[in-house]
Amino acid sequence: MRPADMVAPAGAGRVLCGMALLAIAGVTAGCLTPERRHFVPGPALASGVQCQTQRVTGELVPARVCTLRSQRDAQQQGAQDARDFLTRQPIAACPGTPGCKP
């Protein structure tokens, strides 16, 4: 092989330098991401806060979820409203069936 065959193309140095800079920027960007801020309630709200871990379907790591008493009450009321709605639905096959309520 001749020495002229072993010479790198003219723009190869710039490409390698650019790739090195991108790699360094990517590594430092991962280290510089700010930590998530957490809400810290005052003493009046802290008495109604309840935290639990919930595992979302398809996720391997459970997430910590904190709710206030008012949020839990609203969720329970919504579930009760859905139950009430479903129990009031008429059954389509009911007419003519023994024991059916008119």
Count of all residues that appear for the chain in the document: 102
Q: How confident is the model at residue 88 (pLDDT cuts 50, 70, 90)?
A: confident
Contact 81, 74 (CB under 8 A): no
Distance CA 30, CA 6 (A): 37
Instruction: Report which of 43, 46, 63, 44 is spatially closest to residue 55, judged by C-alpha positions.
Output: 63
Question: Where is 65: in which H helix or E strand?
Answer: strand 63-67
pLDDT at 17: 75
Distance CA 54, CA 36 (A): 19
**Cα radius of gyration (the chain):** 32
Instruction: Report which of 52, 87, 48, 86 is spatially closest to residue 70, judged by C-alpha positions.
Output: 48
**Token pair 């005052």 in the structure block, residue:** 42
On the question of pLDDT at 83 being above 80, the answer is: yes
On the question of pLDDT at 80 being above 60, the answer is: yes
Q: Using one digit for the tens of pLDDT, what is the confidence trace for 61-73?
A: 888 888 889 899 9
